[in-house]
Structure 1
Amino acid sequence: MAEKPPLPPKPKPPQPQPPRPRPKPPAAAARPPPAPAPRAPASNSKPPAAAPPFKKPSSLAPPPPQVLGPLKPPPAHQYRQHPSSAGGGSRKPRHRGGCSCRRLCCLATGLALLALCLALAAACLAYLYYRPRAPSFHLQPLSPVRLRVVNASSSSSVWAVDATVGARAVSWNPNERVAFRYGAGEGRVALADADGDVALGWAPVAALDDHAPRTVAALAFVAAARGVVVDEAVAARVRDRYRRRALAFRVVVDAHVGVRLGALRTGMVPVRLVCDGGVMAPRGGGGAVGPMSKCQVLLFRVRWFSLN
């Protein structure tokens, strides 16, 4: 009986190796083909030789060259797209409104500065041509002055004063081309005393439409008061000074004044005349006889300039 041929030795399975981090091959790099599986040898053939160990491709080997097509420039609209509009619809074009607003503001500012410069130039020329000067005010001696001091009650310590006082403030216009206008107002008269002024009433002041250049105008009124209560000491001083014509008065006139330059008329502004040191006119002489006191002018109730 013939002997059976010996069985070929079984190939040893490859020992597993620890996994190593493999570098990521390029996308277009070709992978090595898998090793063919060993085939079982025929019964009458010689045992096959052992398969060579598996060799990994070297990671240092350069990848095969890739065939790339011609580079195309990106479309131009990609640079104008806003990041927020990548996932949404198209964005409307922005209008350049800010630039127009800035231009309008600059133009308006320039026109305002030009108008201001023209107004200043016109004012300077008008001042050089007209040479305006403020009018002067004086208070004439007060006339008529009638005082009556009576006992107001049975008690001798309470007295009353009845008074009628006429005041006249005259104004001199020193200009040659400038005229003034005085609106209606009111005048008040007070009797100056060491213990305090004693109000002697008020009266309206008539308006004066035209105070021509190089002329004199007057603001006159007559104030009256009845039953002004004073104490005994003041009543005694008033009686004594009235007999000696030595009473001192304070006159205040509130009115409005405007300027007229030819056919041009300005608006009316409030003016106050404060005349201290008013005196009584001498007997039989009238209001134009005697020394005149100075008046102070207040524009807008603020001291603007002093006049002699």
Structure 2
Amino acid sequence: MAEKPPLPPKPKPPLPPKPRPPKPPSAAAAPARPTPPPGTATGARPATAAPPFKKPPLAPPPQVLPLKPPPARQYPPPPHGGARKPRHRPHHHHRRGSGCSCRRVCCLATGLVLLALCLALAASCLAYLYYRPRPPSIHLLPLSPVRLHLPNTSSSSSSSPVSAMDATVGVHAVTWNPNERVAFAYGAGEGRVALADADGDVALGWAPVEGFEHAPRSAAAVAFVATAKGVVVDEAVAARVRDRYRRRQQGFRVVVDTHIGVRVGALRTRMVPLRIVCDGGVMAPRGGGGGGGGAAAAGPMSKCQVYLFRVRW
């Protein structure tokens, strides 16, 4: 009796497949082999053992740069002889509050100044409308006495191109205050007299002028006498002056520099510069008196210009 052939070893069941990482597209997928059935018929070809399962090579992990730790905070060394004192940090809200308060104070001060200026302007306008201040009216009377001494060149032995003149001129002016509630106070000053000529005025001299009080709605008189000796003039000018003096037609120019103040009731203002310019002064006729009422009646009066702070008033 023939012996039976030995049975092939029973293959072990395959292990469950593990999840595989995705393969690169270049690598071709290997076809899976079919597993033999668990049993084979008698007389079949002996089955060979399945090769062991090999894991596909895994791709190398990506290189990740190591993270750098944050820099360590460096603290200043503690002061000697004690613990470290806490650092003082300024508070921004205090700074903001101080800026707002300064702006508020500046705006308030500016508003007060503007309000004071407006009140002062309103008070000045009301005072001007109530008092109606007007400048004084000043007129120059015909000059008297007038003495001009010029040597006669025809009787002189020496013929000189210039002449020396001695002069004495009396000035009288009348000022009128047209205001009803405003009084003027004139300070001491000086008056100057000059001969009017086509080639230029010839200064004759000056004299002090006394100050006085000028009440409202009243007239006041100003008088002074200017003298000069040895005034040198050209011979042509001397000839014209000699001819006009003989006919009592010589013109003069009078300038008075003084100070004036305003008094309203018990209120007084400070003195300010005042200049009075009188052009067209004429000589009083012979026998007209010493500048009083006779001189005023005998000759015309010339109006004077008043300049306050070098501006015509």
Structure 1 and Structure 2 fold alike (TM over 0.5): yes
Q: CA contact under 8 A between 1:151 and 1:159: conserved in structure 2?
A: no
Look up the match of 2:240: 237
Q: CA deviation at 1:150?
A: 2.1
In structure 2, C-alpha distance between the alignment counterparts of 1:174 and 1:90, rounded to whole Å = 76
| 1:210-261 CA distance string (max 9 Å, x none) | 1000111223221111001112222222222212111100001111111100
> Partner residue of 2:108?
107
One-letter amino acid of the structure 2 residue matched with residue 255 of structure 1: T
Other-structure match for 1:195: 199
Q: Which letter does structure 1 place at the counterpart of 2:136?
A: P
Q: 2: distance between equivalents of 1:255 and 1:129?
A: 28
3-state SS in 1 of match to 2:151: strand
What aligned pairs does 1:44-63 form with structure 2 within 5 A after superposition? Answer: 49-55=52-58
Conserved in 2, the CA contact under 8 Å of 1:151 and 1:160? no
Count of residue pairs the alignment pairs up: 231
The whole-number CA distance in structure 2 between the counterparts of 1:254 and 1:110 is: 42
Q: CA separation in 2, counterparts of 1:280 and 1:252? A: 16
Q: Distance in 1 between matches of 2:131 and 2:267?
A: 13
Mapped partners of 1:301, 1:90: distance in 2? 65
Deviations 1:141-164 (A, max 9, x none): 111111101269933322111001
Q: Tell me the equivalent position of 1:16.
A: none
Is the CA contact (8 Å cut-off) linking 1:181 and 1:211 kept in structure 2? yes
Q: Of residues 89, 92, 105 in structure 1, which corresponds to 2:90? A: 92
**What residue in structure 1 maps to residue 219 of structure 2?**
216
- Which consecutive residues of structure 1, in runs of 5 or more, have no partner in the other structure? 1-19, 21-45, 60-87
Question: After TM superposition, where is structure 1 displaced by more than 4 Å over at least 4 residues in a row?
Answer: 54-59
Q: Tell me the CA shift for residue 52 of structure 1.
A: 2.1
Aligned partner (choices 159, 164, 175) of residue 171 of structure 1: 175
Q: Does 2:256 match 1:253?
A: yes
What is the CA–CA distance in structure 1 between the aligned matches of 2:272 and 2:229, rounded to whole Å? 33
Q: Which is higher, the Rg of structure 1 or of structure 2?
A: 2
1:89 deviation in Å? 5.2
Report the AA paired with residue 141 of structure 1. Answer: P
- Whichever residue aligns with residue 200 of structure 1, its letter is L
What's 1:276 paired with?
A: 279
Taking the aligned partners of 2:52 and 2:160, their CA distance within structure 1 comes to 161
Residue 291 of structure 1 pairs with residue 294 of structure 2: no
The CA deviation string for residues 250-293 of structure 1, in whole angstroms up to 9 with x for no partner, is 00111111110000001111111111100111222221322110
- For residues 251 and 61 of structure 2, the distance between their equivalents in structure 1, rounded to whole angstroms, comes to 128
The alpha-carbon deviation at position 101 of structure 1 amounts to 1.2
Question: Structure 1's 220 and 54: CA in aligned 2 closer, same or farther, altered over 3 A?
Answer: same
Cα distance change, pair 180–48 in 1 and its aligned pair in 2 (3 A): same
Query: Residue type matched to 2:258 in 1?
Result: A
CA distance in 2, matches of 1:135, 1:247: 28
Map of 1:145 onto structure 2: 146
User: Which range moved further: 135-144 or 119-128?
Assistant: 119-128
Q: Helix, strand or coil: the match of 1:283?
A: coil
The 8 Å contact of residues 248 and 278 in structure 1, kept in 2 or not, is answered as yes
Q: Any idea what SS the aligned residue of 2:260 has?
A: strand
CA offset digits 1:156-211 (Å, max 9, x no partner): 32211100111122210011100001111111100111222111111111111x10
Distance across 2 between alignment mates of 1:147 and 1:175: 40
Distance 1:151 1:240, change over 3 A: closer
| Equivalent position SS for 1:259 | strand
Distance 2:187 2:124 in 1: 25
